[in-house]
Amino acid sequence: MSTPEYPRQAIEQRSHWPGWIWAVPITALAIVTWLGIRSWTSRGPEVRVIFPTIADLKPGDTPVKFQDLAVGTVKSVKLEKDFRHMQVELQLQSTMEGHLGQDTKFWIVGANFTFTKLSDFNTIVSGPYVAMQPSPGPVQDRYIGISEPPVLKYGEQGTPFILYSETLSGIQHGTPIFYLDETVGEVRSYRMTGLHGFEITALIKAPFDKLVHTGTRFWNASAIHLSNGPNGPKLEFHSVPALVEGAIAFETPSDSTEGSTAQPYHKFHLYDDQDAAENAPTSNGVSYRAVFAGAANSLGKNAPVELMGSVIGSVSDANSNTRL
């Protein structure tokens, strides 16, 4: 006798996994958590900077850069009570830890647009940003921002000097400085001094800065100089690039090489051209006034004064004096 077969009954087993529909939000939550932890661990110090100028800095958007590399962002901006300064809080990356000593510099690039700075053109679309130059040491309570970039860039070696001139005559930010035919430095900044001249900050890079002595003479090499000497008219210029971009050149007279090397920010006069620099009187020079009975139309400013074939000076001014 056979055993009767009964219909099989399915047994339902509940899965402990909530279902594939939950995989997407759980994965998204894990990614957000990981990004949050990563952001928190990569956050560096917060610093407070007082800037002497007002600029359109946007919290959370305006970057802080070191040599064109973003190292932080602007966290907050607040106008000072004098309405001329602003207080800016910066959130820096953790890599800047230990590089925020008291000599750290902060400045704003693109706050005041000028056609002579290439960096300002880059901010036309992106807007101004905060630049910094780190210095070893712990973070400070606050920093005082500067209006112009430091003369010496990070890791750069050289010596800054001051040149005085009545006019700029093509001199601008970044104008190259030549010794013979070698580029040895550049103009880092300039400013007006009163109403009758300019103060130019020039950096001569190492080791060429040792060529600058107290008797060194600088001149504007960007101009075309037409002189009227004993051999007739003479046209001089340093080079074609100097005519287009502007340039400064210098040399040290042989009798000045035995003097001491010029110290940082030593002041020099910037002569109009090479002839004026070479024929300029020394500190022991003597000025004379000569009156000629005949016509002296061929004499002009900077015309050489010779003694037995050697140039011993130059004409500083020449004019006619006719008595009726």
What span, in angstroms and rounded, lies between the C-alpha atoms of 237 and 105? 39
CA distances from 318 to 47, 220, 259, 274, 314 (A): 61, 22, 34, 20, 11
- Walk along the chain (324 residues) and give the pLDDT tens digit of each residue: 556 665 666 566 565 656 566 677 777 787 877 776 666 656 789 999 999 989 989 999 999 999 989 999 999 999 999 999 999 999 999 999 999 999 999 999 987 665 555 555 565 667 899 999 999 999 999 999 999 899 999 989 999 999 999 988 889 888 999 998 899 999 999 999 877 899 999 999 999 999 999 999 999 988 666 665 555 666 665 555 555 568 999 998 877 666 689 999 999 999 988 888 887 776 666 778 888 776 666 676 667 777 776 677 777 777 766 554
In contact, 250 and 216? CB cutoff 8 Å: yes
Buried b (16+ CB within 10 A) or exposed e, 276-313: bbbbbeeeeeeeeeeeeeeeeeebeebbbeeeeeeeeb
pLDDT of residue 102: 94
DSSP state of 164: E
In contact, 212 and 178? CB cutoff 8 Å: no
The pTM score is 0.68
pLDDT of residue 324: 43
What span, in angstroms and rounded, lies between the C-alpha atoms of 125 and 235? 44
CA distances from 37 to 25, 32, 92, 150, 193 (A): 18, 9, 17, 36, 54
pLDDT of residue 3: 61
pLDDT of residue 77: 97
Element (H, E) at 28: helix 23-42
Identity of the amino acid at 162: I
Minimal CA–CA distance to 249: which of 235, 237, 258, 266?
A: 237
In contact, 220 and 248? CB cutoff 8 Å: yes
Spatial neighbors of 191 by CB under 8 A, at least 6 apart, are: 198, 199
In contact, 92 and 48? CB cutoff 8 Å: no
Spatial neighbors of 64 by CB under 8 A, at least 6 apart, are: 70, 71, 72, 73, 74, 90, 92, 129, 130, 131, 132
The burial of 186, by beta-carbon neighbours within 10 Å (0-12 exposed, 13-18 middle, 19 or more buried), is given as middle
Buried b (16+ CB within 10 A) or exposed e, 224-238: ebebebeeeeeeebb
pLDDT of residue 93: 94
